[in-house]
Structure 1
Amino acid sequence: MTNPAGSARRTRRPVPVGLMNKLGPKTAMVAVTVCVTALLGGCVSQDGKDAKPPTMDKKDSQAWARQMTEYMAQAAGIQLNLASINPYFSRCVGKNDELADDDRYTLTYYVDSTVPVAQHPDAVRKIREMLEGRGLDVESYREYVDGKPEALLYARQPASRYLVSASTSGGQDRMLFTVGTPCLLPGTPSASAAPS
């Protein structure tokens, strides 16, 4: 998957840094996973071509994706390049290439980091440990190709079906972090979908 063209955008910080530090990365990740699972319909059947997707405002899905990339970077002990943030919204396409008329969308959120390539394997190892500890299924993983660092981590949250990745990309010292959502409907989630 390539990074679509577009200008980098800055967004507001979704969680105050003091709160994230107060909770700690593990507790904060649990809270985010629980909230997202509830908001993205982790307890609701998504089967059937006419199933209504979970509801989440585009601004909220972007803030959530930013939080996920921040948690991955924090687990690896690295800093994200916030100027590189690139949220990409697209229409939701059905299994048989059908398009609904209700503004369903998916978000693929990209951000990168400058990390010496020799540190990439250690970074994805730490991220993998954190994600597996939070219930995500690692679907693809590598640290090296032909004895050279070329990291790749691809994981999926089984209940809400969002996916995350971290990989060596586009240069020796560049790591790319990606978050992808399932189909979502714009709008505010109902009170019954909100976490308690």
Structure 2
Amino acid sequence: MSTPGPNDPLPVKARQDAQDWAKHMTEYMAQTAGAVLDTGSTEPIFSDCVGKNDEVVNDGRYKLMYAVYSSTPLEQHPEAIRKVRTMLEQQGFKIDGYRESINGKVDTILDASQPSSRYLITVETTTGGLLAFRVRTPCLMPPTATETPR
């Protein structure tokens, strides 16, 4: 599958379908990591797509940033993200960034992307010591919308 070009039509996906996929993906990553998610911490945030000149087209296009957290003990974070990294690589994701510690302290971060879909994944240690699982979508069109030419 090739990487989409800037003038290709936007992928079509209903908001609920995008959120369901993000939920499934974060659950799969957590299961792979051996982490238990705090389902009450789920944060689905939909936002408008903003063009490179700060333009916003009101035709229904959107982005989703979906996050959920785990209270996995800090000392288990490096092993957890190693497992997620392996799984994502097997699923065809490109690893864009990876760190287990900084200045001798556990401070994990894993950034990955899927070139064919432009989905972004992040797993990281938060300031409060939680393990965060995040999914970000590219700009998507709902099935009921008609894309305005760019």
TM over 0.5: yes
Correspondence for 1:63 among 20, 23, 36: 20
Q: Deviations over 1:22-74 (max 9, x none)?
A: xxxxxxxxxxxxxxxxxxxx6684322xx431111101100000011011101
How big is the shift at 1:186? 1.2
Question: Structure 1 residue 119 and structure 2 residue 76: aligned?
Answer: yes
Q: Is the Cα–Cα contact under 8 Å of residues 141 and 152 in structure 1 kept in the other structure? A: yes
- The aligned runs of 1:96-111 (5 Å cut-off) are 96-111=53-68
Indicate the percent of aligned positions where both proteins have the same amino acid. Answer: 47
Q: What secondary structure, in the 3-state scheme, does the structure 1 residue paired with 2:52 have?
A: coil
Q: Whose relative contact order is higher, 1 or 2, with alpha carbons under 8 Å and at least 6 apart?
A: 2
Contiguous gaps of at least 5 residues in structure 1? 1-41, 189-196
Equivalences for residues 70-85 of structure 1 within 5 A: 70-85=27-42
Contact 1:109 / 1:179 at 8 angstroms: preserved in 2?
A: yes
**2: distance between equivalents of 1:54 and 1:104?**
10
Structure 1 contact 120–151 (Cα < 8 Å) conserved: yes
What residue identity is the alignment partner of 1:138? I
Q: What SS does the corresponding residue of 2:58 show, helix, strand or coil?
A: coil
Partner SS, residue 118 of structure 1: helix
Q: Which consecutive segments of 4 or more residues in structure 1 shift more than 3 A?
A: 42-46
The 8 Å contact of residues 10 and 139 in structure 2, kept in 1 or not, is answered as yes
Q: Where is the strand percentage greater, Structure 1 or Structure 2?
A: 2
- Higher helix fraction: Structure 1 or Structure 2? 1
Report SS of the residue matched to 1:98. Answer: coil
Checking the alignment, whether the CA contact within 8 Å between 1:46 and 1:53 is kept in structure 2 is no
How many residues are aligned here?
A: 144
1:1-196 to 2 correspondences below 5 Å = 45-48=4-7, 51-172=8-129, 174-187=130-143
In angstroms, what is the RMSD of aligned CA positions? 1.5
Residue type of the alignment partner of 2:138: P
Equivalent residue number for residue 148 of structure 2: none
Q: Whole-Å Cα distance in 1 between the matches of residues 3 and 59 of structure 2? A: 19
Q: Distance in 1 between matches of 2:78 and 2:51?
A: 36
Q: Is the 8 A contact 1:54 1:184 kept in 2?
A: yes
